Amino acid sequence: MRGDQADRIEAAGRFLFEAHRAKNSFAALPPQVVPQSVAEAYAVQDFFVALRSDECGPVTGYKIALTTPQMQRMVGLNEPISGAILESTVQRAPAFVRAADFGRLLVEFEIALELGDDLPAADAPFTRERVSRAVESAMPAFEIADDRNADYKNLSQHALLLVADNAWNEGAVLGDPIRNWRGIDLATVRGRATINGVEVGEGRGGDSMGHPLEALVWLANHLAKQGKGLLIGNIVLTGSLVTSKFVKAGDRVGFDAGALGRIGLEVT
């Protein structure tokens, strides 16, 4: 990596780190540090995540976003994107989060997979059969995200910034792990989302790239291109079955994922 490119990546990562600490709104990077490619945007993400890991612990998993063509078109990309999940941001349900800790809090409703074996970059390309053997358990999950009051009308102008900004991930809330998940058709799992007891959306496991395992295949191959692997114990959020929901203090959020169980989240 050339010196000027490395300097630009470091400056962009530090800019994002300071913007999060100050709870600044999601906004364009200074022109001189804007990523010039998707690969450079992921390099900024890596630097940003490394800075945050000093407070939040090591990477313990990944999220997948933009799992539908419609969402990809909205932000001007042609494939999903990934973000890292840091250790201290993961909770087990029932859980709570403070709305005041975020610029604008988002919750997503997902099927999470926990790995019982490594998926090293050297083994790529991965197949569905290969990643399936590595999955130890499945469970319902919330993704905790913060769009920092982003202007969605202009989001397509900042697609690489969304990548660099760790795909807005701020953590996860996990349900009880189901280790006999192979007896469940994850593609047909019906997920129902509620806020304060009122249903606000539903979807099925197959809504995310056709099957949660296909989402895992994409992630494993995507990371391998960056020289990264998935490790035993990593959690993967495979994409929301329901559109993202804005929540506020006082809200009680629920997610019923059928055979995978139910989870709850309180926003204080």
Read out DSSP for 95-121? Answer: EEE-GGGSSSEEEEEEEEEEESS-B-G
Cβ atoms of 260 and 178 closer than 8 Å? yes
- d(Cα 73, Cα 237) in Å, to the nearest integer? 21
The contacts of residue 153 (CB under 8 Å, 6+ apart) are: none
Assigned CATH for 57-267: 3.90.850.10
In this predicted structure, what is the pLDDT of residue 40?
97
In this predicted structure, what is the pLDDT of residue 174?
98
Cβ atoms of 28 and 15 closer than 8 Å? no
User: Residue 124: what are its φ and ψ, rounded to 5°?
Assistant: -65, 150
Name which of 110, 104, 118 is nearest 90 in CA terms. Answer: 110
- Bridge-partner residues for 237, per DSSP? 63, 112
Cβ atoms of 89 and 20 closer than 8 Å? no
In this predicted structure, what is the pLDDT of residue 1?
58
- d(Cα 14, Cα 51) in Å, to the nearest integer? 8
Cβ atoms of 140 and 112 closer than 8 Å? yes
**What letter does residue 26 receive in the DSSP assignment?**
P
List the pLDDT tens digit at each of the 268 positions of the chain: 567 899 999 999 999 999 999 999 999 999 999 999 999 999 999 999 999 999 999 999 999 999 888 778 878 888 999 999 999 999 999 999 999 999 999 999 999 999 999 999 999 999 999 999 999 999 999 999 999 999 988 888 889 999 999 999 999 999 999 999 999 999 999 999 999 999 999 999 999 999 999 999 999 999 999 999 999 999 999 999 999 999 999 999 999 999 999 999 999 9
Q: Which amino acid is at 94?
A: P
- pTM of the predicted model as reported, rounded to 2 decimal places: 0.96
- Strands of the sheet containing 95-97, edge to edge, are 95-97, 262-267, 252-256, 190-195, 198-204
The contacts of residue 108 (CB under 8 Å, 6+ apart) are: 142, 143, 145, 237, 240, 242, 244, 245
Structure tokens at 111: 């099927």
- Bridge-partner residues for 96, per DSSP? 266
| Spans of all domains in the chain | 57-267
Beta pairing, strands 81-86 & 169-174: unpaired
